[in-house]
Chain A
Amino acid sequence: GEDVEQSLFLSVREGDSSVINCTYTDSSSTYLYWYKQEPGAGLQLLTYIFSNMDMKQDQRLTVLLNKKDKHLSLRIADTQTGDSAIYFCAETMTMVANDYKLSFGAGTTVTVRA
């Protein structure tokens, strides 16, 4: 995941907002994704944004995309204990025609404290 960078840890009080930041490198990425990994489990897609959008809102989640700075953020409103997890930012990178890989950041471990 060297092409995608994100901070490793975030601690937030229950009920506050969490903001996780990510920078990526491939300006041709079509989609950018946020995945969530709960302890002992695989990754699940949390939300995504298409590259021609600046913002996407989905219930408590807001994704902001700044293409000029190649910066992506995920805001979780009213953070709950169930939001404690590792959050991965990922960008699409073309491998061969009609296929691509995902390049992942190292993951941000979010801890929600009472």
Chain B
Amino acid sequence: NAGVTQTPKFQVLKTGQSMTLQCAQDMNHNSMYWYRQDPGMGLRLIYYSASEGTTDKGEVPNGYNVSRLNKREFSLRLESAAPSQTSVYFCASKGGPIYEQYFGPGTRLTVT
């Protein structure tokens, strides 16, 4: 049982390049989330998916798109990366009796 996995762990992009961050969970959870973490700002929700086939915007969706490919996988795409998107990105899924969110190890992205 791997929990929530993310790839890649690290990535450096040039301004204007595109990339997709991958996330998968093996806990059969319906809800999945993408956050970004910036120093002094905590975690901010980018997009979420309450169930397979649905996605919704969070607090900071501009510059991102998502795909809920199936129940397991939820990907985040940067179409044209900008330096302001330099951050650590976390994927999470929600489940269990106390609605706990389980986090992946993160992707550290630098845009130059």
Contacts and interface: CB of A to CB of B under 8 A. Distances in A.
Nearest to A6: B42
- The main secondary structure of chain A at its interface with chain B is strand
Given A41-B105, A42-B103, A101 B98 contact: no
Chain B contact residues: helix, strand, loop or mixed: strand
A77 B44 CA distance: 30
Q: Which of A4, A50, A95 has the most chain B CB atoms inside 10 A of its CB?
A: A95
B101 interface: yes
Interface in B1-16: 4
Contact of B105 (A4, A31, A42, A100): A42
B42 A88 contact: yes
Nearest to A88: B42
Contacts of B33: 101
A1 interface: yes
B100 A1 contact: no
Interface of B: 4, 31, 33, 40-45, 48, 50, 56, 58, 90, 92, 98-106
A-B complex: 6 closest residue pairs judged by Cβ atoms: A1-B42, A42-B103, A104-B42, A106-B42, A104-B43, A43-B103
